[in-house]
């Protein structure tokens, strides 16, 4: 990768998060920290408003944004693979959101790239050995996690026909072999619980705040779950 391409890629990386540490940039591009500092200085000298805080990292000053970036054909191909996997993961809301994103990305492709993408779409298929359980809640659950919000859900328990109303604070989500699961603090049980998304019949964001003081860590959660 030449230096101009790397500088552009560093700008994109800076725009992907609120703060980026120099170590992350160095690891991504396999360069030294000294080179990272030199590249950041070059971008700053070119007028890019990059701020920094000792011990925290670099950030783009609020209000600055890059113009639309042309993606490569290889990057577009990776998105097509992702689309096929998402088509077979069971949640309609995720499939709908990703499809909307992909339409926007395809709009910036050149004609030849579009033709190649259309051919590739016809030649890739996800595994159909397992039929995923259908759901339509992943999008709103992701929003609840991002904004620290509370959800009220109607939930049908496993092997039971009765439906209960729960107020939950979503903390994490994962995909099993055939279903999405949300890990949440349940006000009814006053404890962490897992809810399969295909058993959520209704859901809505509510103003009520559920207090959950613990610092939830998904990796630690799984370690504790599977060690017990």
Condensed to tens digits (0 to 9), the pLDDT of residues 65-110 reads: 666 666 777 888 888 889 888 988 899 999 999 988 887 777 767 6
- Closest by CA to 137, choosing from 85, 199, 75, is 199
Contact 137, 203 (CB under 8 A): yes
Q: Rounded mean pLDDT of 31-50?
A: 92
Residues 3-60, CATH architecture: Orthogonal Bundle (1.10)
- pLDDT tens digits, residue range 1-34? 778 888 888 888 888 788 999 999 999 999 999 9
Whether the model clears a pTM of 0.95, i.e. scores above it, the answer is no
Do 3-60 and 138-227 agree at the fold level?
Answer: no
Scored b (16 or more CB within 10 A) or e, 102-132 reads beeeeeebeeebeebbeeeeeeeeeeeeeeb
Domain boundaries, the chain: 3-60, 73-122, 138-227
HSE-CB of 17 using CA atoms within 13 angstroms: 11
- For the domain made up of 138-227, the CATH class stated in words is mainly beta
The answer, yes or no, to whether residue 174 has pLDDT greater than 90, is yes
């Amino acid at each position: 990768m030449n230096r101009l391409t790397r500088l552009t890629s560093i700008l994109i990386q800076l725009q992907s998060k609120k703060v980026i540490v120099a170590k992350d940039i160095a690891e991504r591009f396999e360069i030294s920290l000294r080179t990272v500092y030199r590249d950041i200085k070059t971008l700053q000298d070119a007028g890019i408003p990059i701020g920094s805080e000792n011990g925290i990292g670099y950030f783009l000053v609020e209000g600055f944004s890059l113009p639309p970036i042309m993606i490569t054909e290889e990057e577009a191909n990776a998105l097509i693979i992702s689309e096929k996997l998402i088509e077979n993961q069971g949640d309609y809301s995720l499939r709908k959101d990703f499809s909307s994103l992909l339409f926007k990305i395809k709009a910036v492709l050149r004609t030849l790239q579009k033709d190649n993408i259309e051919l590739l779409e016809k030649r890739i298929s996800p595994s159909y050995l397992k039929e995923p359980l259908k759901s339509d809640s992943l999008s709103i659950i992701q929003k609840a996690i991002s904004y620290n919000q509370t959800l009220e859900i109607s939930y049908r328990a496993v092997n039971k026909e009765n439906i209960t109303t729960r107020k939950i604070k979503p903390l994490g989500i994962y995909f099993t072999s055939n279903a999405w699961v949300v890990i949440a603090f349940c006000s009814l049980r006053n404890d962490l619980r897992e809810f399969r998304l295909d058993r959520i019949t209704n859901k809505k964001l509510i103003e009520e705040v559920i207090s959950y003081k613990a610092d939830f860590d998904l990796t630690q959660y799984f370690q504790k779950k599977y060690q017990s």
